[in-house]
Amino acid sequence: MSSKNAFTHIINPVALPADHELMLAQPITFASMQKAQEVAAKNDIRIDLLTTQFPEDQAIIPPYFRQVPDLERSILDIRSFSRPRKLPLIGDIISRLYTYSDTPYLIYTNVDIGLLPNFYLRVTELIEQGHDALIINRRRIPSIYTSPDDLPAIYADRGRSHPGFDCFVFHRDLFPKFRLETICLGIPFIGVTLAHHLFAFAQSPLLIDEEHLTFHIGLEVMPPHDPEYYWHNRNCFRRIRDEHFWPHFDIRRFPYADRPLLERYWRWALNPSLFVAMNFRLEWRAYVADRFRS
């Protein structure tokens, strides 16, 4: 087996009331990951499935996941909110992924993101093409699926595209460059922050936005969010961007940068996780630098 053909994949399960939509989605996610792991094993690809969780969440996790140490803090340990929600910090999750793995490539997905059976095979192909980081956009499917027994129908339902970022594959050597501060899960700017780490520090990042590799049950694009938590995450991202990312950004590593002028700006404008004004500044910086070099 090639050393590249080994991945550790972590998710963060959560126990919620039985009628919560995540309590329907998570068993489907779990089963889809196990199926994709089995397909990978038949093709000599090693997949380690990990979870990290709060202690009260352990009971819902299937035995084919390896539970790494529980999370010890939430956003409520950082500051107070008018509507308290015990949301984990993405930095704590990614840190456990790095610490409790020995594979060259690491994967994080949101817990409501299911996998197609060939997911790890396709990821391996893309890594072998020379990419050290991947962002894989999900397909949205209707909320008619409620059980792992529905997986054959789910696999056949190509659904609709989605612009947001919720699946990340990256070489473990990139993690020491991460700065995730106190960004919390379940709120916008999780995917934005992880993606921009890869744009800043990966040598050959790739966005996969058309392939049918992952799915999410539910057709919404921008679900409602609590403004207090939203602004907490947004302010963290801006601080990380300005203090940590900016010197390392190269617009040529951003999605769609190789497209014709009008097309790339149109695609940036349509994607809520990309920023036209910022990307214009980066284009201008690259243009000026090229002019001075010439």
- Asked whether residue 3 carries a pLDDT value surpassing 80, the answer given is no
Contacts of residue 206, defined as CB under 8 A and 6 or more positions apart, other chains included, come to 126, 131, 133, 134, 135
Per-residue pLDDT of 233-272, as tens digits, reads 999 999 999 999 999 999 999 999 999 999 999 999 999 9
Cβ–Cβ < 8 Å for 104, 6: yes
Tell me the average pLDDT across 101-112: 97
Cα–Cα distances (Å) from 29 to 26, 155, 174, 271, in that order, read 5, 12, 26, 25
Give mean pLDDT, residues 21-31: 95
pLDDT at 2: 46
Q: Is the pLDDT of residue 1 over 50?
A: no
Q: What is the DSSP string of 197-208?
A: HHHHH-SSEEEE
Please, which pLDDT band fits residue 225 given cuts at 50, 70 and 90? confident
Q: Distance between CA 76 and CA 119 in Å, rounded? A: 35
Overall average pLDDT of the 150-157 stretch: 98
pLDDT attached to residue 122 = 98
Asked whether residue 294 carries a pLDDT value surpassing 70, the answer given is no
Cβ atoms of 97 and 69 within 8 Å: the answer is: no
pLDDT at 4: 62
- Enumerate residues 6+ apart whose C-beta is below 8 A from 233: 183, 184, 187, 188, 189, 190, 193
